Amino acid sequence: MARDIIEVQYPTLDHTESVANIGITKTTVTVANGITIKEAFSNKNNSLFIVIDNTHTAASKMTVKAGEAYPNSMLGDIVIELPVGISAIQIQDLSRFEKADGSVDIDFAAEFKGTVFAIAKWAGVREVA
C-alpha cells in the first residue's frame, strides 16, 4: 500500500519571543492509503500530537501500527476510538510504534472521513532562521 505522507509541524519561535505559533496545514485522509507521519519521533521528547477531525456522522477508529525499530513493538498495533469531531492523540510509548526511519504508520476504518495533522515542539535549542 502506498501511504500518504504527512510531516510533523513545528512552532515558529525566535529568540526574542516567549510565544510559539504553528500555522496548521491539514491533510485529508484517503482511507485506502493510510498515512505515514514522517520523522514522527525524531525529537524523542514525547511532544508529538496527532490531531484527527472525524467529520463522519458516527464514531470511527484508527489503528496506530506497531513499529519495527525496538523489541517493544511486539506489543502490536493499538486501535483508538475516534468520536465525531476533533481528537488530539499523544503517543507515550514511542518504542512500540516507531519504524526504523523514525516514522509512524496509521490506518483508518473504512467509514472514516476527515483530516489529520501532527504537531510537536522542538527538543532543545535550535538556531533562529
pLDDT in tens, 30-51: 999 999 999 888 767 778 899 9
CA dihedral sign of residues 95, 96, 101, 107: negative
Q: What is the pLDDT of residue 14?
A: 64
Q: Mean pLDDT of residues grouped by 10 in the chain (129 residues)? A: 88 69 90 94 80 96 92 92 96 88 94 95 60
The domain spans of the chain are 4-13+26-119
Q: Which of 106, 89, 107 shows the shortest CA–CA distance to 51?
A: 89
**Distance, CA of 74 to CA of 126 (rounded, Å):** 35
What pLDDT is stored for residue 93 in this prediction?
A: 81
97-109 pLDDT, tens per residue?
999 998 999 999 9
Cα 99–104–105 angle (5° rounding)?
110
- From 46, 45, 43, 30, select the one nearest 116 (Cα to Cα): 30
